[in-house]
Amino acid sequence: MHDAIKFIQGNEVCVEAALYAGINFFAGYPITPSTEIAEQMAVRLPETGGKFIQMEDEISSMCAIIGASLTGHKTMTATSGPGFSLMQEALGYAIMAEIPCVIVNVMRGGPSTGLPTHVGQGDVCQARYGTHGDHAIVTLTASNHHDIFRMTIEAFNIAETYRTPVILLLDEVTGHLREKIEIPEPGKIPLTKRLRTAVKSGVDYHPYLPREDGRLPMSDFGDIHRYNVTGLYHDMWGFPTDKPQIVYGLIRHLVDKIENNTPKITRFRKYYTKDAETLFISYGASARSTLHLVENRRRRGENVGLLELQSLWPFPADIVREACQHVPLVIVVEMNMGQITKEVKLAVDDPKKVFLANRIDGVLITPTDIRNTLRVIQGKGV
Amino acid sequence: MEKCRLLFSGSGGQGVITSAILLAEAATRYESLNAIQSQSYGAEARGGATRSDVIIWDKPIFFPKVNQPNILICLTQAAFDKYIFSIRPGGTLVTDSRFVKNPGLVDARKVELPFYDTVMEKIGKPVVLNICLLGAIVRMTELVRPESVAALIRERFHPSFHEINIKALELGVELMSGHAMATQ
Amino acid sequence: MALKDYIRQRFFPHIWCPGCGHGIILNGLLRAVDTMGLDKKNIVMVSGIGCSARISGYVDFHSLHTLHGRALAFATGVKLSKPELNVIVPMGDGDALAIGGNHFIHAARRNIEMTAIVMNNRVYGMTGGQFSPLSGYGTMATTVPYGNIDHDFDVVDLATSAGATFVARTSTYHVHELAELITKAINHKGFSVLEVLTQCPTYFGRRNRIGDASEMMEVYKKNTVRIGSKKKQENPDLLERGIFVQKELPEYCREYDNIISKARQK
């Protein structure tokens, strides 16, 4: 028996992956269905010399991981619906001050306290637009343990590369189900180290002056360079300013560093898309049900395919447009009222061919549900 | 192989989720099969209705829930009443004869076994009821070897609980072996 | 070092009004840091939002200007992840005790080694003079145009009840005491709270007819006494200054180091 093979919950996979990625600080607050992440972090982090703290709420949890990131640590928090709402304020701060960190939201049914123990995918737009002001955001997702492991590591890597918070949207089903995961040997998956400044002591360091490639080397709190960090618009020293040309430059930088790198950030899987006459687009737990249906239909000789999105924001419009180009029927499968469907409609040339197959009652959408929607669209009835 | 879908049901605290995890974990880690275990639960930590779904197959498993179980396990009357109509026609219903009275007309093979009474008689501790049940399921499905489950028990449980749990597992295997279905 | 070596001259002049007490607190803080001989690179100043919060930008330490009320939460992340840093958290009264009240009591309860300086001017200055949880019954402010019916917190009592292991109070009039208490608060091995009464002549003083800055400071002189002073027995309305609590309890970061040792022995 191989020790690296584990049979654990998706939430625990997320913890193992974060440890693999080099996390050394986690702050959180218990909330269903994400609590196992905090519990497991409390066990595992001190074993590696890292720190776990249970804060007084999700607001302070988000603030604490930003503070810890500034001392040079890889940091993460995990929450669900209502907690994610509370984190929006400091999430905006992390975007503005360009602090690398990872926020996991194990989605449950909303709005409000909604359905604590049941699945939903209603926080997709909140991940994108939840915090105030124009901004760009990176959001990844996963449907199975192998991908939860990879996407958690990607989240840390992207956070460091672009000096940005990254949201990992899991859901109650993928977070709680148990399946096999093989933990890769250390070093097998590349990790992105924090880019630190090479500026020497006594030379002026500009924490907020991007290099030519758009990246901003950091300096840890406690190191030689002392600088200011603020959520206000700020100049290259991090000092508050409202000069229009600096304000313009910063907001452009914050959005462009993400949006212009969409191809590099985009992650997806394609199943039988080449000759598909019906293309499903899905993500997270919904993608499992969709893939189940696609495999069944393929065995019967039907030309159906699946584009599984593993990154939702920035929305991979080019990939979606290309995949949908020669397909007469596109069905987006998600457990909300069409949050990604709207994006797909905007991306494709003919939005009329895009339909939604969904379920919003806290129950995982079934392959039968999806098949029935397909039959109705095809005019065959259920 | 046929895809095997099991639905374990009972009340919170009976340990049905633990049984489901042990079965699925043994299948993946000791028998090179694929398995998925999931559960649904309410706000209660004890009492209330608990279910756990297990799928075991030699191919990749995507949809993780069991809507129509081949094997339905009910440890309470309430669980039986709730899930009996979901059973796949021709499937197998496993109940504890003390807790589920007169399953009646069911389109399934019925396996009514005295798990609770046997455990109380031979071990005297009701906490291992779930492991006794698991022994019977292991014997019935023959997807996982009893030794694999025993190894997992040794790995997961505190040493002071190894002996009674492994004894309960063996009791379950014996109970099932003595049942008509095992000799069909 | 000269005091000017502790400030970022590039970012002056500061935003505070003429007569504002916050500059006196800045001065007291720098004198404390200088007396203690702390290395600038080992100090992190974390602040929230408000007039008081701007103090962090003017000092040549690592500085983190955060969100309204959240300074202690950010500071907890800084301190726990790098306990060797000295973390100083200046906060306004609304910042610390209205929007940040929950973070305040929990930081105190946790006893994590940081210094919270509550710069109490009894008003929201940056937004133009609204009442704060420290304004007190009967005071005037823009959002209580008919007089304040909200009662105030006593910062010292609150911090003490919440578990802070060092609690002190002074005012901007008592500048030597101020530097001395800041030094003691920073040196304390646990969560320390220092309330500093500081004048806002622009909003609190004017609206409550107390007078200009110097007249407001006269009030601090007249209306406060050292803890244990006889004057307090004669006049119970006087507000006491000095150290109210100074005790040793297990400190959070050191306790967590023990957790790491336990986890590694497993």
Mind listing the pLDDT tens digit for each residue in A35-68? 999 999 999 999 999 999 999 999 999 999 999 9
Interface check for C86 against chain A (CB to CB < 8 A): the answer is: no
Contact A364 B64 (CB under 8 A): yes
What is the distance between the alpha carbons of residues C44 and C6, in angstroms, rounded to a whole number?
13
Nearest-angstrom CA–CA distance, C59 and C4: 9
CA C11 from chain centre, in angstroms, equals 22
- Please, which chains are in contact with A (at least 3 CB pairs closer than 8 A)? B, C
Q: Amino acid identity of C70?
A: R
Q: Is C151 exposed, middle or buried (0-12, 13-18, 19+ CB in 10 A)?
A: exposed
- pLDDT tens digits for A251-304? 999 999 999 999 999 999 999 999 999 999 999 999 999 999 999 999 999 999
Higher pLDDT, A347 or B49: A347
Give me the percent of chain A exceeding a pLDDT of 90. 98
Whether there are 3 or more C-beta pairs closer than 8 Å between C and B is: no
pLDDT digits (tens, 9 = 90+) for B32-90: 999 999 988 766 666 677 899 999 999 999 999 999 999 999 999 999 999 999 999 99
pLDDT value of residue B7: 97
Cross-chain Cβ contact A292/B63 below 8 Å? yes
- CB < 8 Å to B51, chain A: none
Q: At what angle do helices B16-30 and B129-141 cross, to 10 degrees?
A: 40
As a whole number, mean pLDDT of residues B131-149 equals: 97
Nearest by CB: A64 against C41, C74, C266: C74
CB contact under 8 A, B64 and A117: no
* 3-state per-residue secondary structure call for chain C: CCHHHHECHHHCCCCCCCCCCHHHHHHHHHHHHHHHCCCHHHEEEEECCCCHHHHHHHECCEEEECCCCCHHHHHHHHHHHCCCCEEEEEEEHHHHHHHCHHHHHHHHHHCCCCEEEEEECCEECCCCCEECCCCCCCCCECCECCCCCCCCCCHHHHHHHHCCCEEEEEECCCHHHHHHHHHHHHHCCCCEEEEEECCCHHHHHHHCCCCCHHHHHHHHHHHEEECCCHHHHHCCCCEEEEEEEECCCCCHHHHHHHHHHHHHHC
Q: Do chains A and C have 3 or more beta-carbon pairs under 8 angstroms?
A: yes
Cβ contacts from A onto C, under 8 A: 139
Query: Using CB atoms within 10 A of its CB, is residue A146 exposed (0-12), middle (13-18) or buried (19+)?
Result: middle
Q: Which of B19, B38, B156 to mutate to test the interface with A (most CBs of A within 10 A)?
A: B38
The burial class, CB within 10 Å (0-12 / 13-18 / 19+), for A349 is: exposed
pLDDT at B106: 82
Structural domains in chain A, CATH included, are 1-265 (3.40.50.970), 269-377 (3.40.50.920)
Q: Which of A55, A221, A224 sits opposite C78 (nearest CB)?
A: A221
Residues making up chain C, counted from first to last: 266
CB A180 within 8 A of CB A6: yes
Pick A240's closest partner by Cβ from C44, C57, C61.
C57
CATH of the domain at C151: 3.40.50.970
- Residue range B7-40, pLDDT digits in tens: 999 988 899 999 999 999 999 999 999 999 998 8
Q: How confident is the model at residue A4 (pLDDT cuts 50, 70, 90)?
A: confident
Q: Express each pLDDT in A195-207 by its tens digit.
A: 999 999 989 999 9
Min Cα separation A189/chain C (Å): 25
Taking 50 as the pLDDT cut, the residues of chain C under it are none
pLDDT digits (tens, 9 = 90+) for A95-112: 999 999 999 999 999 999
Can you give the pLDDT at residue C117? 98
Amino acid letter, residue A348: V
**Number of residue pairs across A and B with CB atoms under 8 Å?**
59
Tokens of B2: 């046929």
Which DSSP letter does residue A240 get?
B
Residues in A touching C259 (Cβ below 8 Å):
46
User: HEC profile for A46-88?
Assistant: HHCCCEEEECCCHHHHHHHHHHHHHCCCCEEEEECHHHHHHHH
Q: Does C23 touch chain A (CB under 8 A)?
A: no
Of the candidates A129, A76, A65, which has an alpha carbon nearest to the alpha carbon of residue A105?
A: A76
Q: Does A87 touch chain C (CB under 8 A)?
A: no
Q: Is B83 exposed, middle or buried (0-12, 13-18, 19+ CB in 10 A)?
A: buried
Whether B24 and chain A come into contact, CB under 8 Å, resolves to yes
pLDDT for residue A188 is more than 70: yes
Q: In which residue are the tokens 């958690």 written?
A: A152
Residue B69 DSSP label: -
Number of domains forming the structure of chain C: 1
- Residues of chain A contacting residue C260, judged by C-beta atoms under 8 Å apart: 46, 49
Cα C99 to its chain centre, rounded Å, is 15
Contact A49 C264 (CB under 8 A): yes
CA angle B144-B37-B43, nearest 5°? 140
Interface test with A, best of B52, B62, B66 (most A CBs within 10 A): B62
Which chain A residue has its CA at the smallest distance from C266's CA? A47
Name the token pair of A346: 């905007």
Q: What's the pTM value of the predicted model, to 2 decimals?
A: 0.97
Nearest chain A Cα distance for residue B42, angstroms: 7
Give the pLDDT band of residue A340 (cuts 50, 70, 90): very high
Q: Are A119 and A364 in contact (CB under 8 A)?
A: yes
Enclosing domain of residue C168 = 3-265
The matching CATH number, chosen from 3.40.50.300, 3.30.540.10, 3.40.920.10, 3.30.500.10, for B4-183 is 3.40.920.10
Question: C11 vs A204, A283, C58, CA distance in Å?
Answer: 15, 48, 6
- B chain contacts of residue A120, beta-carbon cutoff 8 Å: none
